[in-house]
Amino acid sequence: MLNIAVVLLFLAACLAPYISPAWFWPISFLTLAFPFLLGLLVFFLVGWLLFNYRYALLSLTAILLGWKSITAYFAFNLPANNKPLAADESIMVMSYNVSQFGLYKEKDSKYNRQAMFALIKKQEPDIACFQDFYTSERKNDFNNREDISHEMKLPYRFFSSDFNRNGMQHWGSIIYSKYPIIASDKVKMSEGPLSESLIYADIVRNGDTIRIVNMHLESYRFNQKDYSAIKKIKNQEDTGLVATKSIVQKMREAYIRRSQQADIVGGFIRQSPYPVIVCGDFNDTPASYTYFKIRGDLQDAFLQKGIGIGRTFSGLAPTLRIDYIFVSPYFKVNSFRKINSDLSDHYPVIANLSITGKKPAADDVNK
């Protein structure tokens, strides 16, 4: 009976990419359990193969039916094939949720900021997409927008400035480029005072126009009280019925809002007249509706060259890959890596790309 229950839950999780949380939100919670459900299926499969192989068919059938979701969650590549090309033959792309450079992490954030600047500079990105970005024009504050352009030799940029305080302090997402930007804009992904924008910049490299897309999708908006409650529940210190209700409500709202944002983002990408490089903190796993809706037929750089689960968020669970780089088939992914740094609660992800030399037809750019 337990095996049957796990099979049913696993198959329900595999339906999540096809069912918008705006229509049926409970299924989204199963996407967080996806790798654990898969682990249980493998356990049952091996166990039944040893004791009664006929019962193993149940788990095996479920795994085969869920193969699309499995191959989106796990990367199966050899490390030997993960090698970047020389700088003059490739484009180095970095995506990083910088958590405001530690603005609220400690009393004096300058040391965290300096370390983060050093980390970014060492990677020598040609294109850098940052989420949860903070900059200021106040005296004795950090003008990160200008400083990164100067220190990283990335002179071209576009910043969303979704939130500002007194016109001097700004928060949002930003795109930096070594290559000239010929067009840029932002697209509101949802309504409300706390909504952020999708931003894009069309760059020109060696005569090729490429559209860079960057976004930060809706988070759960957990506060410190929520994280403390989650920790107590995990440690079985508290049944947490009241806290659980609040946490579930926040997660429900986030799932619904992200699905609506994903519909907008997916449509925008498909309409692009140019090949795209899509970066962002999606706040959702590879088993989700959000992931599949935005990815479409694009290549996931991690799946092309990474290995394993590829965790990019340091909190909550060791299975959370929520930061992505997607690219059009027009590109070849030469290498992918993430840096396990504790400077932010997200790990930076970096992809080395080259152009295949095969220009797609106008109608087939980003299907």
Residue the block writes with tokens 């087939």: 364
Asked if residue 217 has pLDDT above 70, the reply is yes
User: Considering the chain, what is the average pLDDT of its residues?
Assistant: 89
In this prediction, residue 7 carries a pLDDT of: 95
Residue 74 scores a pLDDT above 90: yes
Q: Is 161 helix (H, G, I), strand (E, B) or coil?
A: coil
**281-333, pLDDT tens digit by residue?**
999 999 999 999 999 999 999 999 999 999 999 877 788 999 999 999 999 99
Is it the case that residue 234 has pLDDT exceeding 60? no
Output phi, psi for 204, to 5 deg: -120, 125
Provide the token pair at 321: 């890959």
- Residue 4's alpha-carbon distances to 42, 58, 169, in angstroms, are 13, 8, 54
120-154 pLDDT, tens digit each: 999 999 999 999 999 998 888 889 999 999 999 99
Among 211, 213, 231, residue whose Cα is nearest residue 222: 231
- Give the tens place of pLDDT for each residue, 149-168: 999 999 999 999 888 888 88
Look up the CATH number of domain 79-364. Answer: 3.60.10.10
Secondary structure string (H, E, C) spanning 275-341 = CEEEEEECCCCCCCHHHHHHHCCCEEHHHHHCCECCCCECCCCCCCCCEEEEECCCEEEEEEEECCC
- For 88-101, the pLDDT digits (tens) are 899 999 999 999 88
Domain boundaries along the sequence of the chain: 2-73, 79-364
